[in-house]
Structure 1
Amino acid sequence: MFKYKDKSIVVDYENGYLFRIDYLSDRELKFTSLKERTDGGPMTETETYFYKELADDIFFVNWVEEAGVVVSQILDFNKMEVETFMTWNQEDARGKRGYLVNHGEIRFP
């Protein structure tokens, strides 16, 4: 069982993105942008996610958004940090996939 099920976190990324993530169950999360998005992404979406505890309070979390964006995170609740890798279809990119690697801080709302 995911330790943070029925809990919420706020993720504040270095690039200015700010999201609230609500872990609705062991398999469903809802993310909500807390700032207006300029990248065309959704303001809120509910997704099925996968998680794996890698070490005490360190989790790998992954989901695929409706538009096909793949989000993979390492959540370190010991340091209250997150590393996120996102990838999406992009015809002019190498392998036809665009990507973003982003670091952020985690806090509880």
Structure 2
Amino acid sequence: MALEFAGQLIETDDEGYLLHVEDYSPQLRDFMAKKMGLELTSDHIIIIETVREYYNQYNTTPPMRGLIKLLQRTGHEDLASSVKLARLFPDGAAKSAAKLAGLPKPVKCI
């Protein structure tokens, strides 16, 4: 599949995850969020960027518990709860944050 953005076709899988991590940009993130019905706040962006940093370091996306612990360790305790993450990403925080970060679908997400 492909996503038309800024005059280009961006390759995605059948669920909308980017096939090429290097296609990511903040502008594409915002475009994808709108398509998902999300209006991004600074909290969303902190979480998305935290997921990207984790991926860049470990070449995998963090599981939900790992994301919560990572947010706690990086000074974002106010975001580090499954309830808060569910409010920000109603379709699932791990999946949605990975998709908006331009990363592959988390392995343990069905």
What's the TM-score, normalizing by structure 1? Answer: 0.29
Question: Higher strand fraction: Structure 1 or Structure 2?
Answer: 1
What's the TM-score, normalizing by structure 2? Answer: 0.29
Q: Which has the higher contact order (CA 8 A, sep 6+)?
A: 2
